Amino acid sequence: MALEEYAGAIVMEVDGTEVEVTDIDVQTKTGRKLVKTMNSTGRPKGFSKGIQEIELSVTVVIPVSGEMDWGSIEGAKITIYPNAPGGTRTTYQDCFSTSVGAKYTVENEGRRDIKMNALREIDE
């Protein structure tokens, strides 16, 4: 069985400043909704199309000095780079924060959990 390579570095850019990202979780909602109708079969007949939503859960390390105002992020860009040459990058553009939390554990650095939405996803 051959070894496989997977996606590598994650870079978040806010106003031209790179931010260290340790974890990212991407959830895409299709926007489709079930349409329930009154019919003799007693089951739905289809769906309606809606607007796609991209939700990101990003974890960043807390810097000792110069911590950013995580709650006011607007227009950020997050890029996931492949490790393998010739792989495709995935970029989330026009990201904005919706909530911010903090996480502290015994053996790790302090972290911020940021919930964000992105307006665009581009595979390059």
Domain ranges of the chain: 7-123
* Percentage above 70 pLDDT, the chain: 92
Give tens-digit pLDDT for 54-105: 999 999 988 888 788 999 999 999 998 877 677 788 999 999 999 999 988 8
* 106 DSSP 8-state letter: S
* 108 DSSP 8-state letter: S
- Rounded to the nearest integer, the mean pLDDT of the chain is 87
Decide: 116 and 95 in contact? Cβ < 8 Å: yes
Half-sphere exposure of 59 (CA within 13 A, CB side): 11
Look at the domain 7-123 and name its fold: Elongation Factor Tu (Ef-tu); domain 3 (2.40.30)
Out of 20-34, 76-90, 105-119, which region has the weakest mean confidence (pLDDT)?
Answer: 76-90
Could you tell me which of 18, 20, 19, 46 has the C-alpha nearest to residue 33? 46
Could you tell me which of 71, 82, 61 has the C-alpha nearest to residue 18? 61
What is residue 41's predicted lDDT score, i.e. its pLDDT? 86
Binning pLDDT at 50, 70 and 90, where does residue 19 land? confident
Decide: 54 and 91 in contact? Cβ < 8 Å: no
pLDDT at 30 over 70: yes
